[in-house]
Amino acid sequence: MRYRFTAPVAWLAGLMFMGPLSAPSLSQSRPRPAQPGFNLFTVQQDVDMGRQSALEVEKQLPMLNDPATNLYLNRIIQRLAAVAPGAKYPYRIKAVNDSTINAFALPGGPMYVNRGLLDAARNEAELAGVLAHEMSHVALRHGTNQASKAYVTRSGISILGGLFGKQGGSSSQILSALGGAGLNAVFLKFSRDDEYQADATGAEIMAKAGYDPNAKANFFQTRRTR
């Protein structure tokens, strides 16, 4: 997602999941963790399509191709992935040589972060906060949830049997039916509810991984006031 420097209301709301930041009474029930929504794809199809989409992304973006930077980023990712909910996706991350402050993730685990975000983060916790948010989109399967809804809207539920029947369609067939490489635009178009869920789940991941879950909110608040 492209990050805008607005008040981080959703992220701060997400921190309410964390417990130590608020002291709920015994009568209050703990909010239920976010759950993946409607989805026509299997977890393995998420992985397969993410890999195919990553090939297209890396042809189009100016990759930084710095082994030390990518090693550092993947160390953070593995720390977050160890406590992330949902399927155990093969998360990995690469840096993009772009000065804008941005990061995004594709279904199944491929993640990307711009050099601009690396330069802007004041510490590892702030960087981890953004990455935990993007990882949450993968864990909650938001990309293929959006693709599923787009497919049904465009093609109608009646023709799904041939593509998603008992035998299942290959990832290549599904990508072709949904628009090929251009499907990345669908994978990365999240609803406001998706963003709220990613904020809340990202805060939980951060806390479980040993990072201060306030760090992401602090990062965007500081950038907004500069």
Spatial CA neighbour of 160 closest among 172, 148, 171? 148
* Structure tokens belonging to residue 57: 């992304």
Active site includes 134? Answer: yes
In this structure, which amino acid lies at residue 207?
A
Whole-angstrom Cα distance, residue 74 to residue 15?
A: 25
Select from 1, 53, 49, 44 the least CA-distant residue to 199: 1
| Catalytic-role residue among 126, 134, 195, 204 | 134
Residue 190 near residue 162, CB atoms below 8 Å = no
Residue 141 makes CB contacts below 8 A (sequence gap 6+) with: 36, 37, 39, 41, 46, 86, 107
Q: Which residue has the tokens 């509810």?
A: 193
Give me the amino acid identity at 66: D
Q: Catalytic positions, please?
A: 134
